[in-house]
Amino acid sequence: MAITLRRTNKVLSAVVSEKRIYIQSGPSTSYIRFTPISQLLLGSAALALVGWLAASTSIVVLDRISSRTEVNQTLVLRDAYKIRLDELAAERDQRAAEARSAQARFQVAMDQISRQQTTILQSVEERRELSNALDLMRNRLQEAVAQRDTVAASNEALLDRMNEVSKSLNQRQGADSDLTETLDAVSAALAEAVTARDTATADRADLERQLADLELRMKVNAQRQDEMVGQIEQAVAMSFGPLEKMFERSSVDVDRILAEVRRNYSGEGGPLSGVTVSTRSFDNGNDSSRLNTVLVSLGKMNEMRIAASKIPFAIPVKDSFRFTSGFGYRRDPKGAGRRMHAGLDMAAPKGTPIYATADGVVESAGTERGYGRVVRIRHEFGFETVYAHQTKLLVVKGQKVSRGDLIGAMGSTGRSTGVHLHYEVRLDGRPVNPMTYLEAAKDVF
C-alpha cells in the first residue's frame, strides 16, 4: 500500500508539486508536508463544500421566495374573506332588522286576533241570548194564537147557543123566568169572550212587533259577526303563513310536534252545572262552518306558536357580530388538520350578551374540556343547544329559561383562538346545522 502511494505521488508530482509548510518555534523548526494526493483530496473536499453551500443557499432562497408568495396569497385571501364576512355581517344586520319588524307585525296581528276573538265570542253569546229570547217570544205568540183560537171556538159555541135560545124564545114567548136568566148569562159570557179576543189580538200585535225587532237585531248582529270573522281570517292568514313557511323550511316533523303539543296542552274541566236545552238552533250553517274553520286555524296557529317557542329558531347574539366559521368540515384553527365543526362561530367583543334561543331547562352550566365555560340547554321535541367559550355564566343547572333570556357573556375560554361564541344545535343527540333554523325563522323572529 505504501509503495503504491509513493508511486502515485511520483506520477502526480509532474502535475502537482509537493508543498511544505514550515513552522518555527524558538530554535526548532518543523514542517507539514502536503503530497500531491493530499492536495488533490483537500481540493476535492473544498470543491464539495463549495458546491454544498451553493446548493443549500439556492434551496433557502427558493424556499423564501415560495414562502413569500404563499404569504402574499394568504393575505389576499384573508382580505377577501374579511370583506365577505363584513358583507355577511351587514346582510345579517339587515335580516335581523327585517326579522324584528316582522316580529312586531306578528305581535300586532296576534293582539288584533286576541281582541277580535274576544269580541266574536261576546257576539256569539249575545246572539245565543237573542235566540233564546226569540224562542220565548215565539212560544208566547203560539200560546196567544192558541188562546185566540180557543176564544174563537168559545164564541162560536156561544153564538150557536144564543141562536138556539132565540129560537126557543120565539117558540115560547112568555115562558118561565129561567129563560131570561139563561139569556143574561149567555150575554155576559159573550162579552167576556169578546174582551179576551181583543186582548189576545193586542198581545199578538205586540209580540209580532217584538219578534220583528229581535229579528232585526239578530240580522245586524250576524252582519257584525261576519265582518269580525272576515277580519280574523285576514289576521290569521297574515300570521299563519310565515309560521307555516318557517316550519316547512326547517324540515321538522310538524305533525309529530303538533301532536306532542296537543298532548301536553289538552287539559279540560270545570264544576258540574245544570243541563240547558235549546228548542232551536241559532247558528246559520254557513256562518257556523266558517267560524269553526277560523277557530280551527286559530287553534293550529296557537299550537305552532307554542311549538316555535320551544324549537331553537332565534339567534343567540342580538348585538353586532361576524360569522367566522360555519357548520361542516373545515381546517382546524389549531393546526390539527381537517376536522368536523359541529356548530356556528360568531365573533364579537368580549362580554357580548348571549341569549337562549328557545324555552327549555339548563342541563349543565360549567367548564368542559375544549368548550371552556359552556351552557347546555335541553328543549322539547329532542332538541338541545350548546353555548361554548363563554367568559361568564349567568344560569345554573336545572334552571328553566325562556327564549330571549340572558344566559352568559361571550369570551375565549377553552380551545379557542379568540373571543367568539361556538353555538350548536343537536336533535336527538346528533349535531345539525343551526343555520337551517336561523334562515327558516328570519321572517318571523
Domain boundaries, the chain: 318-325+342-434
For the chain (445 residues), the mean pLDDT of every run of 10, in chain order, is: 71 70 70 73 83 84 75 81 85 79 75 76 77 76 74 70 65 57 68 73 77 79 74 65 75 81 69 46 56 73 83 92 89 73 93 96 95 96 95 96 96 93 94 90 70
What CATH superfamily classification does 318-325+342-434 receive? Glucose Permease (Domain IIA) (2.70.70.10)
pLDDT, one tens digit per residue, over 173-216 is 555 556 566 666 766 766 777 777 777 777 777 777 877 788 77
Mean pLDDT (the chain) is 78
* Angle, CA 126 vertex, CA 122 and CA 131 arms, to 5°: 145
pTM exceeds 0.85 for this model? no
Separation in Å, CA 241 to CA 45, 191, 310? 87, 74, 19
Closest C-alpha to 300, from 251, 357, 253, 243: 243
Beta bridge partners of 52: none
Q: In this predicted structure, what is the pLDDT of residue 422?
A: 95
Phi-psi domain of 429 (left: phi exceeds 0; alpha: psi -120 through 50; beta: other): left
pLDDT score at 236: 65
Give the pLDDT of residue 346.
94
Kindly state the cell numbers that stand for 311. Answer: 324549537
Judge whether 387 and 314 are in contact, CB under 8 Å. no
C-alpha closest to that of 384 among 360, 353, 365: 360
Instruction: Report the chain's C-alpha Rg in angstroms.
Output: 51
**DSSP code per residue over 140-194:** HHHHHHHHHHHHHHHHHHHHHHHHHHHHHHHHSTT--HHHHHHHHHHHHHHHHHH
Host H or E run for residue 347: strand 344-347
Residue located via cell numbers 252582519: 223
- SS3 for 191-243, per residue? HHHHHHHHHHHHHHHHHHHHHHHHHHHHHHHHHHHHHHHHHHHHHHHHHHHHH
pLDDT for the residue numbered 168: 65
b/e per residue 4-22 (b: at least 16 CB within 10 A)? eeeeeeeebeeebeeeeee
The predicted pLDDT at position 41 comes to 79
